[in-house]
Chain A
Amino acid sequence: MIGFGLLAAAGVAIPIATRDSYHLDVATAILMNLVLTLSLRFEMSTGQLNMAHVSFMGVGAYASALLVMRAGWPFWAALGAAPLLAALVALPVGRIALRVSGPYYFLITFAFLEVMRLLFNNFFPDYLGGPSGLVQIPPPSPLPLPGGAVTFTGKLPQYWLMYGLFVLTTAMLIRLEHSRVGLVAGAIRQGDLLAETLGVNVLRYQLGAFMLGSFFAGLAGVFFAHSHQVLHSSDFALEPMVLLVVFTVIGGTQSVWGPVIGTVALSIASEFLRELHHYEVLVYGLVLMVVMLAVPEGLVSLPGRLAEALARRRRAKAVSMGAGLAP
C-alpha cells in the first residue's frame, strides 16, 4: 500500500518535473501499459496466461470510437460502457477457453487473438476502417465540472486522464489482491484441484478474473483510441501482446510489483532501442531468455534471492569459523 502511494506520488511528480511533450508521451504510455500488465498479471494470478489480452483492449478501443463517432455518445459515457462491453465479450470466450488449461488455454486464447486481429482488419471496413485503419477519432470531450469544463486536448491533460485511470485500476486490483478473492486466487495457483475439493468453484473464479482483466484492458483501449485518434489492427496483434507478456514475466508475477518493474524498466529501455526498429523485439527476446534462465521468478524476486544468498554465506562463514575454533 505504501509502495503504491509512492508510485502514485511519482506519477504526480513527473508533470511537475517536466513539461517536455516527449517525456509526457513516454510517461503516458507507461501508465497505459501498467494498466494492461497489472490486469494481465491479475488473470495470471489464477494460473492462466491469456494471449488475447490486447484483443480485449481492441474491443474497448473500437467500441468506444464507434460509440462516439457513430452513435454520438459523449466520450465519458463511452469510457464507462466500452470496458463493460470488453468484459461482456470475455464471458463466452472465457467459458470456452477455460474448459481447458495450461498450454491448451494458451493456444485457444492465441487463436482468438488472431481471429480478432483479422476481424479488426478485414470485416465491416465501413465501420472498423479496414486495413488502412480507423481514423479521425475525436479526443476526449471536455468534462463539465462545477468549477468549469476541463478540456483534454493537450498532452498534459491527457496524461492526467491516464493517471486517473491508472490510479483507479491499481487501487481496485490491490484491494482485490488483499481480500478473499486474492486468497482464493493464490490457492488456485498453487493447487486448483485442492482448492476445488475445498469448495472453490475454480472455473467461476477464473472466469471472473478473465472478465475483470478484460474490463481493464478495455479501459486502456478507450484511452488509446481517443489519445492516438487512430486505430489499426496491428495495435492489437501478436507483437504488442508478446511485449505485454515480456513486461509482465520479466518483472515477475508473484507480486503486483513485478509488472510495475518490468513495464517501467522495459518501456524506458525501448525508447533507447527505437533506432533498432524491428530488431527491438530481438533484444526483448534475449532479455527474456536471460531473465528466465537466471531469475525465473522475475526481477521482483531478486532482492529476496540476494538476501537469501547473503544469509547463506554468513551462515557458511559462521560454520567455518566455528570449525576453526573447535578443539
Chain B
Amino acid sequence: MLLELREVSRRFGGVQAVNRLSMTVAARTIHGLIGPNGAGKSTVFNLVTGVLPPSSGEIRFKGESISGLRPSEICRRGIARTFQAATLFRESTVLENVLLGCQLHAETRVVPTFLRTAAYREKDRAIHARARALLDTLRLAEAADQRASTLPHRDQKVLCLAMVLATGAELVILDEPLAGLTAQESAETVATLRRLRAEGKTILLVEHDMRVVMGLCDVITVLDHGVRIAEGTPREIQRDPSVIEAYLGAEDTRA
C-alpha cells in the first residue's frame, strides 16, 4: 500500500471533522474521496499533506510514518497536492510557478549561489529543462512567460497540476480538479489523469462531478460526518445502501 491511514482523527474544538478514519490507497490507482459537504474530505487532504497535524492516529507513506512532519518534508517524500480554488503564485510567470515545484530537486546553498558555481548552473539548467518539458506536455509552453494571474481558468487549473507534477511526487492529491471546467476541458483533464496513472502515478482526488468520478476512479472511499461509510469500486459504491441514503439518496430526493 502506498498510503495508509490508521484510525486517524482530527478535532476542531468540539467538532469531530475526521473520526477514526482508516483507509488505504494502492499504488498506480486513481482513488476518489467523496461525500456530502462538510464530510471531512478537505481535512483528510490537509492531514495527509501535513498542513494539519492529526489529533490522533497514524499516517504512513511507503511504509514510513509521516504524521507530524512538515508539509515540505512530506512533499520531498513524494506527496504533492493542489488546493481547491486554483491556488498559484499569481504575480509570478507560468514558468516560475513550475520552477518552484522543480526547485526541491536543486538544493540551494548560499555560497554556491553567490559564486554561481558550475554545479549551481548545471542544476539551474536541469530544472529549467524539466519545467519546459512539463509545460510542453501540458500544452502551456506558449504561456511560459505570461503572468499566472492572466491565464484563463482552465490554464490555471492545468498550471496547478503542472506545479504538483514538477515536484516529482508519486502520490498526487487533487482537490476538485474539474471544478469550473467546461465539458470539453473536463474531458481533457480526465485524459491527462488517465495518462498519469499509466505512467505510474497514484492519484487521490476529491471531485463533485459524480459521472466523472464513477467513470474515472478505480476505488472510491465515501465519507460522511468524518466517518468512512463505504469503500469499493464505483459499481459497489453505487449499489451500497448506506451511500445511497447518505449521499446519492439525498440527491434523489432533491430531484
Contact = CB atoms under 8 A, between A and B. Distances in A.
A196 B72 contact: yes
Interface stretch (B17-25, B94-102, B185-193, B211-219): B94-102
- Among B49, B81, B91, B103, chain A packs the most CB atoms within 10 A around the CB of B103
B113 A191 contact: no
A93 interface: no
Contacts of B103: 180, 183-184, 199-200
Nearest to B112: A179
- Among A176, A181, A197, A202, chain B packs the most CB atoms within 10 A around the CB of A197
B110 interface: yes
A19 interface: no
A184 B92 CA distance: 11
A135 to B, nearest CB: 36
B114 A198 contact: no
A183 B100 contact: yes
A181 B75 contact: no
Interface string B117-141: 0000000100000000000000000
Contacts of B92: 183, 186-187, 190
Interface in B72-106: 72-73, 75-76, 80-81, 83, 87-92, 96, 99-101, 103-104, 106
Classify chain A's interface size.
20 to 34
Contact of B100 (A193, A198, A203): A198
B89 A201 contact: no
Nearest to B77: A199
Contact of A191 (B72, B89, B99): B89
A321 to B, nearest CB: 27
Contacts of A180: 99, 103, 106, 108, 113, 124
Contact of B75 (A184, A197, A203): A197
Contact of A172 (B70, B75, B114): B114
Contacts of A302: none
B97 to A, nearest CB: 8
Given A181-B108, A202-B72, A197 B80 contact: yes
A195 interface: yes
Contacts of B87: 191, 194
Interface of A: 172, 175-176, 179-181, 183-184, 186-187, 190-191, 193-203, 208, 212
8 contacts: A175-B116, A176-B113, A179-B108, A181-B108, A183-B92, A183-B103, A199-B167, A212-B110
